[in-house]
């Protein structure tokens, strides 16, 4: 079936993300420095300040929402990787495919007599440290990151394994990042209703992420984050303060929550 997507406009999501515990998003390392950091954090190449890549935030949001909606493939691939295998089902109303996009060829949608969900709705910007927070820290002579020593234990001897000691760099707890996302709203014959629902599910996904972790070593206490000061600006330029509305007691999958209100 031919797809018809009319862009209504772009909603903008802004706010702050605070690292409640130390945060590690790795940069990788090609060289070995004796006595140096084994696992450094990613940094801006010019300012040398750590930041959170948009891909890291978007990827974890997708992970959380795939689990929430029961869209986890048998083969471990991302939902929407392709049309074949992994328990994938084609559905043009699928919120995961609308929010995050898919690589399913258009011919597969046509064979299934379905309208393809169209382009990716969500764009996540890199999140940089809040300049006010950085100045406060530097004025106190403090560091933006910390070095955490970790060790692997020999289960028999009850002591550190040879070569099991490693140094991990973390952005310190309390660090504040400014976040920004754009969400494209399309009219696919319903006046944009489904995309509006998807926007609300996405915002609820931020609450899911607060209950999990961002970055590496989440099971060891790293990467707990909190979102504050969230504001959504709709295409008509009307801003809406979210407050704590993204923190739901349970995640609704049958009906989208009404966090962002759209004009009638």
Token pair of 73, please?
Answer: 């493939």
pLDDT recorded at residue 60: 97
CB atoms within 10 A of CB 70: 8
Average pLDDT, whole number, for the chain?
A: 89
3-state secondary structure of 231: strand
Mean pLDDT computed over 132-151: 93
pLDDT recorded at residue 118: 84
In which band, very low, low, confident or very high, does the pLDDT at 142 lie, cut at 50, 70 and 90?
A: very high
**Is a pLDDT exceeding 70 seen at residue 76?**
yes
Beta strand ranges found along 86-214 (DSSP E): 122-124, 127-129, 145-154, 159-171, 176-187
pLDDT recorded at residue 213: 97
Q: Tell me how many degrees the CA angle 65-264-94 measures, rounded to the nearest 5.
A: 25
249, 171, 247, 257: which is closest to 214 by C-alpha?
171
Quick check: 119 and 128 in contact, CB under 8 A? no
Quick check: 56 and 248 in contact, CB under 8 A? no
| CA 247/CA 207 separation, integer angstroms | 5
Quick check: 66 and 96 in contact, CB under 8 A? yes
Residue 259 vs residues 54, 89, 108, 247, 254: alpha-carbon distances, Å: 23, 28, 34, 10, 15
In which band, very low, low, confident or very high, does the pLDDT at 86 lie, cut at 50, 70 and 90?
A: low
pLDDT recorded at residue 85: 56
Highest mean pLDDT range out of 60-64, 105-109, 162-166, 235-239?
60-64
pLDDT recorded at residue 83: 61
């Amino acid at each position: 079936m031919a797809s018809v997507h009319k862009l209504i406009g772009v909603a903008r999501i802004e706010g702050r993300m605070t690292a409640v515990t130390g945060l590690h998003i790795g940069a990788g390392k090609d060289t070995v420095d004796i006595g140096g950091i084994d696992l450094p954090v990613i940094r801006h190449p010019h300012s040398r300040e750590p930041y959170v890549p948009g891909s890291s935030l978007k990827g974890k949001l997708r992970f959380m929402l795939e689990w929430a909606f029961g869209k986890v493939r048998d083969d471990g691939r991302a939902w929407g990787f392709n049309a074949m295998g992994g328990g994938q089902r084609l559905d043009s109303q699928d919120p995961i495919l609308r929010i995050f996009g898919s690589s399913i060829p258009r011919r597969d949608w046509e064979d299934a007599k379905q309208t393809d969900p169209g382009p990716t709705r969500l764009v996540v910007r890199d999140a940089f440290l809040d300049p006010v927070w950085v100045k406060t820290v530097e004025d106190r002579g403090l560091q933006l990151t910390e070095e955490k020593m970790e060790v692997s234990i020999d289960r028999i001897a009850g002591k550190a394994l040879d070569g099991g000691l490693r140094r991990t760099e973390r952005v310190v707890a309390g660090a504040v990042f400014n976040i920004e996302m754009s969400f494209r709203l399309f009219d696919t014959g319903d006046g944009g209703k489904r995309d509006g629902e998807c926007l609300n599910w996405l915002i609820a996904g931020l609450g899911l992420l607060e209950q999990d972790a961002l970055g590496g070593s989440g099971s060891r206490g790293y990467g707990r984050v909190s979102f504050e000061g969230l504001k959504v600006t709709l295409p008509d330029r009307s801003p809406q303060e979210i407050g704590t509305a993204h923190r739901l007691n349970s995640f609704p999958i049958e009906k989208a929550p009404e966090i962002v209100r759209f004009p009638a």
